[in-house]
Structure 1
Amino acid sequence: MTKLLVSGTIGLFTMLLYFKISYGLAAMNRVNPYINIIIGAAVECAGYTSASILINKIGRKKSFICYMTLTIICTLIIPFIMEQYPIETAIVAQVGKFAISGSLGVSWIYIPELFATTIRAFASGFFISVGRIGAITAPIVETLIDDKYMYLTFYIYAGLAFITVGLTLLLPETKNVPFIDKTDFRKPGRNIEMINSGFENERIVRF
């Protein structure tokens, strides 16, 4: 249950950050928003592509932390330069879009791998559903907050990203780890063992 709640929180905060950055690119008044969106789409593709490579090099957990750390850095830089340097702000925001896209790409692989086959579909659905709450919330927050207080949202979102990194540290690495086939809640204590189902050997996790 703890792992499920942690995964849901990661999904919520990651999608909040994704739509915060994406909405910010489209809402920039001093830079052409159409060009920003087109470049953002290319940057997002690059983020997903790099994520697919990095997760096989250094693992899911480290990849996610690296991308999220870069997201934090970009989110903290933007409020310091957004008023005087619109072009530089757009560049930093695009780097942030790359980073958060990479984070999303990794999370879609990483989170399902954390759960046994018998509950993986439920866990993935929970992760995605909670993430959609973040996707709905982010644009609403952006439209409700007055422009003079907008800079504060960057610090808040950076804090959420920092919490996300902290929660990720609690999760195990799943690279090159065999999938767990079943989860058995009947016994206390957690151990993994092989059982014979009559047709094939299955791995079962006992709690």
Structure 2
Amino acid sequence: MLDTIHTVETPEGVDLFAELSGPIPRALAYVTDLSIRTAVLIIAGILASIIGKTGIGFWLILSFLMEWWYPVFFEMLRQGQTPGKKIFKLVVVNEDLTPVTWSSSIIRNLLRAVDFLPSLYVFGILSLTLTQRFQRLGDLAAGTLVIQAASHTRNTPLPDADTMPPAIAFTADEQDAIIEFTQRHKSLSPARQQELGNILAPITHKEGDEGVRYLRSLGNWFLGAR
């Protein structure tokens, strides 16, 4: 059975989880984006034919932009989601689950030309199905993943946890680490929970089970429970 969960351990010792997208959702998202690009080019082509030679020139420029910069534009300005990926709730991220960068997005999309070889994305499909994390060649070169967007959210308070406002100011990274710990604690063994909780003991001044309960109550506060 394929493991579709990608795990990254933060410098704070908290495990982050994301559900990888398989080939079928990615293919559906690609077909959706291709349909959008094709529709835009058809409409633009009709208008260009009416305008004449100048219109044809603009159409050629638009064709280049739609083919090579459409995915980069949306991935960078729409939080890693083209319209097709947004519809199917997919998002492009770096392998460490940080937002995709300009360089990574450009590399992964330029190499779509290699993924297409020898025709009909044969290399890309083979790479998707044979790699452990469903990465096409462009993803491997850029160090990117496509994950389920819903698996990377962190904004729902936990109904079974107490809530406690922080007594001190936490940095944004510390808050993120506490939130991830709170949401993922059920997937961790009690010993692992205490181990992670003890990492923040110099800040929280609490260890063991008490430290775990305290971190969960803080995490629930940061998630919006009041």
Tell me: higher relative CO, structure 1 or 2? Use CA pairs within 8 A at least 6 residues apart.
1
TM-score computed with the length of structure 2 as normaliser: 0.29
TM-score normalised by the chain length of structure 1: 0.31
Higher helix share: 1
